[in-house]
Structure 1
């Protein structure tokens, strides 16, 4: 059975601190997209955090990955993890090899 993870980030620092760390956070995102760990990400509306859909083997792998995020390391955001088992998906997502 395959499991995927949504990460919900909620900022706990002012937006000026978030924006200052954004270049490093974007490098972190880019690295994980290249590794196939992330499927999509984006900011929440209202802009008080963001979401990431992760395609990793298990929760331990996910923890190791998000502990590298500058937002985590600098205490900028709290992380809420939701794991789920995909049972149906759009054909576009069906091409993604689930881990």
Structure 2
């Protein structure tokens, strides 16, 4: 699967949910996880989030109508050591964090 960025993520419906697979300081560490997700349906989004303690990179997977659907989809995730099971987040909340990061530049 291809890895999309904030521009594509910004077009998703804010009321939907995504699954955050990982949040890391160094996006280079996500290579193994991205490769493991390559055969799964759904797009991956790599988002840069500006936090009070510096920049973080979140790898998000796909979009779901509601939190139950996002939670249920976690059973499809690969059994990766680096994978912290994934946690559902409302897309609109992440979109707001990206917008804040862009405003701070």
TM superposition score category, shorter chain reference: 0.3 to 0.5
Greater relative contact order (Cα < 8 A, sep 6+):
1
Larger Rg: 1
TM-score (norm 1): 0.44
TM-score by length of 2: 0.42
